[in-house]
Chain A
Amino acid sequence: MVIDDNPVDRYIAERIFTKYEFAEEIVCIDSAKKALEYLISFKDIPDKLPHLIFLDIMMPEMNGFQFLDEYKNLPETIKQNCIILMLTTSIHSEDHDKANDNPYVNRFLNKPLNVGVLKGLEDLE
């Protein structure tokens, strides 16, 4: 699952994942709120839940950190199935530290998403 308000970035993610056959199914969602709703709707169907969530930080309405605050309260079934990766342009060390301090964030990735970045994720497969 890719959560990003920027359509170009969503497009890049979809293209890269498809091209390198990174994922069986790709869900791109343009807002954190919708992503939460999506996750909750499949809370009882673990097979439908995403394995990896690529989360942007700077988004309107609900940003990445606000998403994480809500995510914390989601049912365990969801949290056990998902690994969250921050994918952002932010180079602020505060954002970096904040993300690393969050127990649900696996790692912090810098955009753009490319083959080099995907290679770094092979251990998650």
Chain B
Amino acid sequence: MHILNSLLQEQINKYQGETPIPEYLSNFLSIVSETYEHYEKDQKLLGDVLNSEGNGKEEAVAHQEHLEISQQIAHIGSWELDIENLEDTSRNRLAWSDETYRILGFEPGSVTPSTEVFFSRVHPEEVELMRNIVKDAVTNGQPSNIEYRLLLPDGMEKFILARSETLVDPKTKAPLKLSGTIQDITDRKKAEEELRIANNELRTLFENMQEVFFSVDMETFQQLQMSPACEQVYGYPREAFIENPNLWYEMILEEDRHIISANDPILFAGQSVINTFRTRNKDGKIKWLEVKITPTLNKEGKLIRIDGIAADVTKRKEVENALRDSEYKFRSLIENNSDAIMIINENAEIVFSSNSLFRITGYHPEDVIGIPNITFIHPDDIISIQKSREDLLSNPGKTNTIQYRRRRKDGSYIWCESIATNMMEDPIMHGIIINFRDITERKEYIEALKASNEDLKKIKMEMDRFVYSISHDLRAPLTSMLGVLQLIQSEVTDTLVLSDLQLIEGSIKKLDGFILDILDYSRNSRLEIKLQAVCFNDITNEVMNHLKYMGKGKTTIDIRVDINEDLYFYSDKGRLTIILNNLISNAMRYCNPEVAHPFVEINITSTSREVNIRVKDNGIGISEENQQKIFDIFYRVSSNSIGSGLGLYIVKEVVAKLSGSIQLQSSPGKGSEFSIHLPNLVNV
């Protein structure tokens, strides 16, 4: 038992090296050692009892008591069968010691011992066998030494070691008495069984583990043992290593062999080593092995044996290398990025900075690590930085973009744009990741742009005021002149004077019209489109109202208006007015005096998508040659033309501004038709 236990312990130590013993094994070991202790205690008690004997004057009863106690302690019972008078049934020929009763599950003396009583307690599977053995012993006087099982009424199974001897008549050689012992060895049996299971488990472990276990005698350099996994790890069967004890070394790549040589002083000092190196397998494959070697020194401190485990760690190495490569890649990316990357912890201190910080701020990472980030922020920006930080901290995973001024090592400030992400809950980062770049130039550029935009706005406003004043200052005297002129006209009767005044009035109106045209042009080119729902009926009425005195003195022009409009047409009312005003006034102005019934036809059809404006007349018409030129600025068809030469040019510009198109069909003497298509601007 003791030997088994220590053997097992040794085995386990050997396999496990420095790693802890698996739970099931340690449970088992505690059972073994408990059983063993129990056994030892019993032995000691027995010894004590036996030693107390030998005074020579004990009585038979005392002797009997001693014996009973001894039996009880050793779990050994004795019995005796009188074979000589076997047929005499008047006497009980079988006698049991008290412990025999107990082992068989009876109170001592509670039953009359008999073979049948005995057999009733033998395990049913073994009754047949036992009967034969007893018969054999009685008949032939054969001594026996057997093991068998009992099955007690309460279901308890006991293992029994039984020995018997036959006492024979020295003369007749006939058997007289059969006496024997039964020993309850259940505990021992159980322990043996458990040990066997544990050994099997260890064996299975040894045979099946991916790692190679090996032991080398360091005096003979012979492989003492090697587990079957060596075939997987090395590609050679274990026989190859026994045949060539140096094979494992020869397989190591030459450049890695120095690792093994370095082991010697450590092993000689009795310390374990762990090595990682590459081997070239039987099939030429390079494998990474991790080997752990534990030396055993003898009493003189001489290395006598090594035990080790070799594991194939190629996959782990590959992963490690891939990880190292990718780490290197990311690091290079970070270091070569024009952005700087920082990690700040929960106390807002910088715990990491990429080297690119130096390029941007002049600080090396080691200058700033451990320092609160806020130290480098412009005082005016600290509040916004803190706000952003609080916002981030209350929203894990959130990203904020913020612009602020950061101090350089030389004391100057640069504008930075930083993107910060809360990765406090990330177990590796555990901080706020700040990615920032120098945007000083961009900022300056934007500031310059803003300033020049402001200038432009100012200029535009001044221009608006200028145009407004001009229109007033130029037109006010004209209207005054017109007012005075009309006063005179109302008081003079001389036809010659009246016709002269008519000329002056025409000129004034022409000049006023010219100013209005220039204003329209300037407004069209300067002002943004003012989008609104438009009503073509209203616009046309307004225009007609404005033009109603135009035809004065001439033949009445028949104005026909036909408008079909969609309620929701969106465009710029002011510009539509300019278009209609110009087209209609042109049509009226250039009516054909030869024609009996001059007319102007205005046809407007709008849908939700576009509007078609057609202004048709039977006026003097435009020659093909002039059709190309009438849209040019300051182009007038003849010196008789009344207009400024701006009207159609402005129409063309306005139509273009409203993303529309204009067509003209005309033949001299017959009339003209302008057709304009404009999109509904809300759909564009």
Contact = CB atoms under 8 A, between A and B. Distances in A.
Contact of A12 (B469, B478, B484): B484
9 contacts: A8-B483, A9-B480, A12-B480, A15-B487, A19-B487, A91-B471, A111-B482, A112-B479, A112-B482
B483 A111 contact: yes
The 6 A-B pairs at the shortest CB distance, nearest first, are namely A112-B483, A111-B479, A12-B483, A8-B480, A58-B472, A89-B475
A88 B449 CA distance: 40
A20 to B, nearest CB: 9
Size range of the interface on A?
A: 20 to 34
A113 B483 contact: yes
B118 interface: no
A115 B489 CA distance: 11
Interface in B462-493: 468-469, 471-472, 475-480, 482-484, 486-487, 490
Interface in A96-116: 110-115
Interface string B293-323: 0000000000000000000000000000000
B516 interface: yes
Interface of B: 468-469, 471-472, 475-480, 482-484, 486-487, 490, 516, 519, 574
A119 interface: no
A86 to B, nearest CB: 14
A41 interface: no
Given A12-B487, A15-B487, A89-B475, 11 more contacts: A8-B477, A8-B483, A9-B480, A16-B487, A58-B476, A89-B472, A89-B478, A92-B468, A112-B482, A112-B486, A114-B483
B231 to A, nearest CB: 98
A89 B516 contact: no
A89 B479 CA distance: 7
B490 A92 contact: no
A12 B476 CA distance: 13
B471 A9 contact: no
Nearest to A5: B476
Contacts of A9: 476, 479-480, 483
A90 interface: yes
A9 B476 CA distance: 9
Given A19-B490, A115-B490, A90 B472 contact: yes
Nearest to A110: B479
A93 interface: yes
A37 to B, nearest CB: 25
A89 B474 CA distance: 10
Nearest to A20: B490
A116 to B, nearest CB: 8
Given A19-B490, A112-B479, A115-B490, A8 B472 contact: no
Contacts of B574: 93
Nearest to A116: B549
A6 interface: yes
A19 B487 CA distance: 9
A19 B483 CA distance: 14
